[in-house]
Amino acid sequence: MEDPSNEFTLSYAAVWELLNKVGRGRLLVAGTSVADVFEDIKGFGVSFLPITMDHILSAASLPHIHSDPFDRMFIAQALAARMPLVTIDPKIWQYPVESIWA
């Protein structure tokens, strides 16, 4: 992740989850609104991964090791795109997805 030549891709599901938490006051980001946080995210120069119907079907078909719908979407997207998933969640490590930061 520290290598600037690596491309960082962020799922729209991650943006949705993050902004949802900011908007509900569950994730405090001093002096910022939901819109400000999204602008900050875009400023990092990340690519965004949209959610497709194939991702939805894949997430719904995964074994029920993990019940969090956002995490299940991240797994489905990482599998479909054949890209590693950055996570410290040990439940995700039980899926056949490459993970970083394990």
User: pTM for this one?
Assistant: 0.83
pLDDT of 26 above 90? no
**What integer best gives the mean pLDDT of the chain?**
88
| pLDDT bracket for residue 1 (50, 70, 90) | low
Percent of the chain with pLDDT over 90: 56
Summarised one tens digit per residue, pLDDT across range 53-99 is 999 999 999 999 999 999 999 999 999 999 999 999 999 999 999 99
pLDDT of 35 above 60? yes
Over the chain, what HEC string results? CCCCCCCCEEEHHHHHHHHHHHHCCCCCCCCCCHHHHHHHHHHCCCEEECCCHHHHHHHHHCCCCCCCHHHHHHHHHHHHHCCCEECCCCCHHHCCCCEECC
Question: Between 58 and 7, whose confidence is greater?
Answer: 58
Highest CATH level, class, for 9-100: alpha beta
Cα-Cα-Cα-Cα dihedral sign, residues 12, 17, 23, 27: negative
In the chain, where the domains are located: 9-100
